[in-house]
Amino acid sequence: MKKIIFPKSLKKGDKIAVISPAGAVEASQLEKGIEMIRSKGYEPILGEHLYTTFSHGYQYAGTEAERIQDINWALNDDEISAVWASRGGYGCQHLLENINLKNFSKNPKWYIGYSDNTVIQSYLLKKGFASIHGQTVKTSSFGVTEESYELIFDILEGKTPNYSLKSHQFNKTGSCEGQLIGGNLALVYALLGTDYSFKFKNRILFIEDIGENFYALDRMMMSLELASVFKKISGLIIGGMTNMGTEKENTSYNDSFDNLAYQLISERIAKYKFPVIFGFPNGHIKDNRPLIIGGNVKLEVKDQVNIKFEN
């Protein structure tokens, strides 16, 4: 396994690029997030097409060419110290074949986002760089806890997160150590069989999702099963499963940690012996605590759950 490069820590006054690599976003939706970046002592630099809208079967934040232009500028400009996605949505897959890391490789920087940004983080990890799976600049409709953002700034400033959780009824006890991969389940699934898919052997997989019918959730889990993902990983962390199913299928429609979704996942992985954590606070949820994709993590799943990252 190649050594993963962690970008250098930021210092006050550094510039953070804000870009829209996928779905369209309005200026009013980013006001609080951009002001927060300023209040922390950093200078937000807005991508040229941050607020562009291109309607083509979906409301994209610009054409593919415009979004590629912005991400390559943000990743490679030597004056930029971190890149923060405005939101997810759909569209990051369009960029993968045209991402340029020529200057980035000489001066790596943190990429921050979640949801559709999972594919960008998989791309960066395959090139040997860690990233932050955490809240976007746009706050979700669920709201975002202050700690969710504070912990991102902690990582940007060189601190490593550690988490302790209460046990969950579906957890599988045990301990393991490995590189953390994953993100949004739909995107992990969408990358299977491509050159941009995560490597799974001896890794710890994290998954979360939103708005999927239960049969679609099971289809994705079955695809991972048929691709032998569960035979390869050494541990599994499940985050938010939000607004899953339909109102007829699920009486707890607004539950961020959907019990039926958890049950379906639990049944699908029942025969495997690796430790499993349910209910980790990351995903399309209010308490969205960041994880380091590519970070080395130790899991201990007993009556208490401990997750410890190491550089």
Give catalytic residues, as residue numbers.
115, 208, 284
E strand intervals along the chain: 15-19, 43-46, 54-55, 59-60, 80-85, 110-113, 131-133, 162-166, 174-184, 204-210, 235-242, 276-278, 291-293, 296-301, 304-310
94 HSE (CA, 13 A, CB side): 22
Instruction: Find the length of the chain.
Output: 311
Sign of CA dihedral 19, 25, 28, 32: negative
Counting Cα atoms < 13 Å in the Cβ hemisphere of 18 gives: 26
Side chain identity, residue 90: Y
Start-to-end CA span in the chain (Å): 15
Instruction: Supply φ then ψ for residue 143, to 5 degrees.
Output: 85, 170
DSSP label at residue 5 = B
Cα–Cα distance list, 263 to 80, 169, 271 (Å): 43, 10, 14
Alpha-carbon distances of 127 from 121, 237, 282, rounded to whole Å? 10, 23, 24
Nearest-10 Cα torsion for 74, 79, 84, 88: -10
